[in-house]
Structure 1
Amino acid sequence: MHLTDLRAATGGPHGSGAVGLHTRPASGAPLVGDPGLHGDAPASTGVNDTGARASTGQQFAVAGRRGDWTAIWYLGRKAWFHNPAAALTALPDDGATLSPRPGAGPVRVYGRALPEASAYPEGVEPEEPRPLPYELRPGQRYVVGDTMPGEHFHAPGLTDETGAASRVIRGRTLWHQIQVGHRTGYVRAADVTVVRPRSDGQPNV
């Protein structure tokens, strides 16, 4: 599902390229929460609060439809926005998506795609991946962006204490970049299954 512009949850035009995301398919329902921004508190409609917002150009996997409302997978849960057939807020797309691999359980999301510890040379302390407060659960789908090996730019200065120049450390562990909310995140490729666009031309997003 590729977000176009410019309609609020009530269906009326507004001066923004974003839509609010709700916990239920109703304009009066609470906005979804973003634990990375608010902890257990709900998101708000504040101009700087992106916790329950999807913007023009973002891509999300469809999680359900009910009447004029569409749900997407967003930060590990369903999030609903107004998308009437007579004035679509979002358009179908054919991007690749991913889901947790069968039997893998919840998949953690990370803010960086780092190399495995064994990729770091002697004298360089490995960076430990730290998960964000989001999980992908079985049955959920997220749009895949880039796929890349983990990297770390080791830059203690122009040179380190031995006189060696800064360096890029690359590993073998593959990561997928995903649109997890109003930001991108990374999941280990070994933890998920990727579904490519359908050969019959029909959208799967």
Structure 2
Amino acid sequence: MDADAAKANLHTYLMHEREAVLAKLEGLSEYDVRRPMTVTGTNLLGLVKHLATWEARYLGEVFDRPFPEPLPRWDVETDRLADMWASEHESRSDVTDRYRRVWAHSDATIAALDLDSTGRVAWWGDAEVPLFNVLVHLLAETSRHAGHADVLREELDGAVGTDAEAMAADGHDAAFWAQRRAEIEAAARAVG
């Protein structure tokens, strides 16, 4: 595979994962998109805010193409943790629209650079890293957080899938899933 095809492939997967994350917010109340679902407070809108912040860094700062809006500091603990949740002063559209602006900025960086173009990642010990590595890392991180969003959304209302249409058209009712869960629980108890 040539470099242009490889870059296009990575970019296509990244675009799909971005959309999958945003789809997890569709149809939910303001409370549910912000609701802390884990001991550490992980929530859907916070995942979007976090992804926007770090994508802006990786495909902005790293390649000396800074995102034109302020970002919380990565090297200050209180700022670093602020990207994992949205305050009551940040609307859902503030967060999601910003993520889409980050996409446009990132997409321009991807288009402008070759896969072997290098940038400096300050939070990796100031390492010089090629775009290829940054894209692979960003795709892995976005996919990881899309998986978190899958679990959070399923816990909130049982919706599964990678987009709103798939979530709505799953075809299984609550009774099916209750029976399936009971079957899995029985298997776990049998060996535990």
**Which TM-score tier does this pair reach, normalised by the shorter chain?**
under 0.3
Flag the structure with higher strand content.
1
TM-score w.r.t. structure 1 length? 0.22
Higher RCO structure, 1 or 2 (CA under 8 Å, sep 6+): 2
TM-score w.r.t. structure 2 length? 0.23
